[in-house]
Amino acid sequence: MGDVLEKLCSEKRLSSTHLEFGFVTILEKVDDLSLDHPKISESLGTIFGRLMLTGSIQMSALEKTLTKEELTKYGEAAKFIFGMLRSVKVIKGEPGLTEFYKDSGLDLKKFMRPRDKGATATIQYIKDRAKDLLILTPLIAE
């Protein structure tokens, strides 16, 4: 799916506005969709990360949607963000991921479930559920 979207964007058949509309529409229904596809948020994040690195869409396009209570309450926003970060790591490696995180101004804490919003809880979440992203833990501040 990511390959198809990348190709359509590179051929100018899809704009960032189209992508934003598509991601927002799916994210607004993610609770229902996750019943049939439990990893939908992470999968969407992976695709988003690839598209973001090509310049097809910006993180700011989804930030408002991803910080809504419906998506943070049960951790769907965090799953999306961690999927996106994994995609960045696969494409750019650990040094590229670290650089991306620093340059993006991304604050992981605001996408976490309410009980995981502090720096300590976010770091623990990474240690428990996203060990492949441990390199980011020194960058997470209170």
Q: What angle do CA 67, 40, 14 make, to 5 degrees?
A: 80
Q: pLDDT at residue 33 above 80?
A: yes
* Distance between CA atoms of residues 111 and 60, nearest Å: 13
pLDDT of residue 2: 81
pLDDT of residue 24: 94
* Tens digits of residue pLDDT in 49-84: 999 999 999 999 999 999 999 999 999 999 999 999
Q: What is the dihedral of CA 60, 89, 128, 48, to 10 degrees?
A: 40
Q: What is the DSSP letter of 37?
A: -
Residue range 25-49: average pLDDT? 94
* Distance between CA atoms of residues 119 and 49, nearest Å: 23
The pLDDT confidence band at residue 3, using thresholds 50, 70 and 90, is confident
Q: pLDDT at residue 20 above 80?
A: yes
Q: pLDDT at residue 22 above 80?
A: yes
108's tokens: 């992981």
Q: What is the DSSP letter of 55?
A: T
DSSP 61-119: HHHHHHTSHHHHTTTHHHHHHHHHHHHHHHHHHHHHHHHHHHHHT--GGGGS-GGG-SH
Q: What is the DSSP letter of 134?
A: G
Percent of the residues in the chain that have a pLDDT greater than 70, as a whole number: 99
Residue 91 near residue 53, CB atoms below 8 Å: yes
pLDDT of residue 127: 94
pLDDT of residue 1: 78
Q: pLDDT at residue 26 above 70?
A: yes
pLDDT of residue 141: 77
